[in-house]
Amino acid sequence: MPSDSFSSHTTCVEVALGERSYPIEITSSELDEIGARILLRIPDLTHALVIFDSEVEKRWGSLFIKSFSEPSLPNGNRIRVDSIAVASGESSKSISQLAELWQWMLDRSADRKSVVIAIGGGVVGDLAGFAAATYTRGIRFVQIPTTLLAMVDSSVGGKTGINLPTSKNMIGAFWQPSLVLIDTDMLRTLPKRAYLSGLAEVIKYGVIDDISFFEWLEENSRKLVDCDDKTVRRAIAESCRSKANVVSEDERETSGRRAILNYGHTFAHALEATAGYGTLLHGEAVAIGMQMAANLAVATKLCSTELLNRQTTLIESCELPTTFPDADVKSMLVVMQQDKKVSHGKLRFVLPERIGQVKMVGDVDQAYVARAIEACR
């Protein structure tokens, strides 16, 4: 099967990280050939360790495993495929689940040439990626994100890890995948609310990095909401390209450049922490958080109200919330004081100057922050 048989509906984004560079292939309706696609990129694959999200496994598991056993595999390779499912949800990013994966890999005689394939959302990607980063001090890793959020966010950047009982993402490694495969068909089985939630991060890239992408989103929000294949592929590709540019300038989060990806997130984390678990999806909190940040930027005369208005309209047309009536200003401020981005007690925010351009602003007056939250209640 020639490689160009994939090309008509496939966009490829290259994440440039020197010897750790890798491609993100974005396509639609190619799920039955996914095994062959992986083999084209990793021709020496002999042993696949497939780690599924348990919900994804129910829907796509047999199709995926079957795609590795097709007689049309290139070079007639014979692949040993072992698979395991981990429970959906954040609680799988635990030490005990990680220990179970390590033992499973050993029991399946995984060695340095084995390849971990993670199929699921951010939780499975983070967990399986960290297992890959640490098994025999690091083996190769393919990511197949199945949620829009994972496609546009965690598929770029190499962040892997688990939680400690009282602290998220405290343990982990920077470990770049060898390949990321995205098929928009997988979005069709995602609940609509979860799908829309992912659009918040897509909008974020327009605001922080790319006005022409923002304008394209304004024109195409209807098609995006309807999950039109071609439109979604482009939105994913542009998002990955934006994030890849930022990450390739600051792979290990040392220069501060990567911080711009946190636009809206300081508010969002405080919303998530105070709203009660499960009240808001992450992307919904990010949408409201971006509104709070834009309000703060207007109040501190960093940007015009036009930016705020255009952002509001775009978020609304993506059927995402722009306000959260139950927001508790006082407890949100307490949470924000504990945020990792706080430097010696002074609140710092990523704020927009104009569409496509943000800056890090330190030492923001708490009264302005409180008013920005109020504005979105």
For a copy of itself, give the closer residue by CB, 84 or 171. Answer: 171
Nearest Cα residue to 49 out of 65, 36, 60, 62: 65
Q: 4 or 19: whose CB is closer to a copy of itself?
A: 19
Phi, psi of 330 (to 5 degrees): -60, -50
- Quick check: is 301 catalytic? no
Return all residues near 333 (Cβ < 8 A) that are at least 6 apart.
270, 366, 369, 370
161 pairs with which residues across the strands? 172
Please confirm, yes or no, whether 201 is among the known catalytic residues.
yes
Closer residue to a copy of itself (CB): 102 or 216: 102
Least Å from the CB of residue 165 to a copy of itself: 8
Choosing from 30, 262, 272, 284, which is the catalytic residue?
A: 262
* Catalytic site residue from 19, 75, 78, 137: 137
Active site residue 192: no
- 253 noted as active-site residue: yes
Rounded CA gap, 36 and 337, in Å? 49
Is the distance from CB of 188 to CB of 125 less than 8 angstroms? no
Q: Are 336 and 188 in contact (CB under 8 A)?
A: no
Q: How far is the CB of 310 from a copy of itself (least distance, A)?
A: 36
142 in Cβ contact with 64 (< 8 Å): no
Q: Could you say which of 253, 257, 319, 341 is catalytic?
A: 253
Distance of closest approach, residue 88 Cβ to a copy of itself, in angstroms: 23
* Tokens matching residue 288: 């409201």
Residue 159 bears catalytic tag: yes
What are the tokens at 210? 């790319």
258 is catalytic: yes
Q: How near is the Cβ of 17 to a copy of itself at its closest, in Å?
A: 14
CA separation (Å) from 66 to 46, 81, 188, 209?
A: 15, 10, 21, 40
Considering Cα of 210, then 213, then 215, then 221, what sign does the dihedral take? Answer: negative
Contacts to a copy of itself by CB under 8 A = 95, 99, 102-103, 106, 111, 133-138, 159, 161, 164-167, 170-174, 252-253, 340
Under 8 Å between Cβ of 52 and 61:
yes
Nearest 5°: phi and psi at 74? -60, 145
| Annotated catalytic residue, options 140, 233, 269, 310 | 269
Q: Which is nearer to a copy of itself, 12 or 95 (CB)?
A: 95
**Which CB atom, from 54 or from 94, has the smaller least distance to a copy of itself?**
94
Selecting among 93, 258, 310, 348, the annotated active-site residue is: 258
Q: Least separation, in Å, of the C-beta of 167 and a copy of itself?
A: 6
Shortest Cβ distance from residue 176 to a copy of itself (Å)?
12
Taking the C-alpha atoms of residue 368 and residue 47, their distance in angstroms, rounded to an integer, is 56
Q: Pick the catalytic residue: 37, 93, 140, 159? A: 159
Q: What is the DSSP letter of 157?
A: S
Q: How many CB atoms lie within 10 A of CB 205?
A: 26
Q: Are strands 11-15 and 22-27 parallel, antiparallel or unpaired?
A: antiparallel
Among residues 159 and 348, whose Cβ is nearest to a copy of itself? 159
Residues acting as catalytic residues: 137, 159, 201, 243, 253, 258, 262, 265, 269, 282
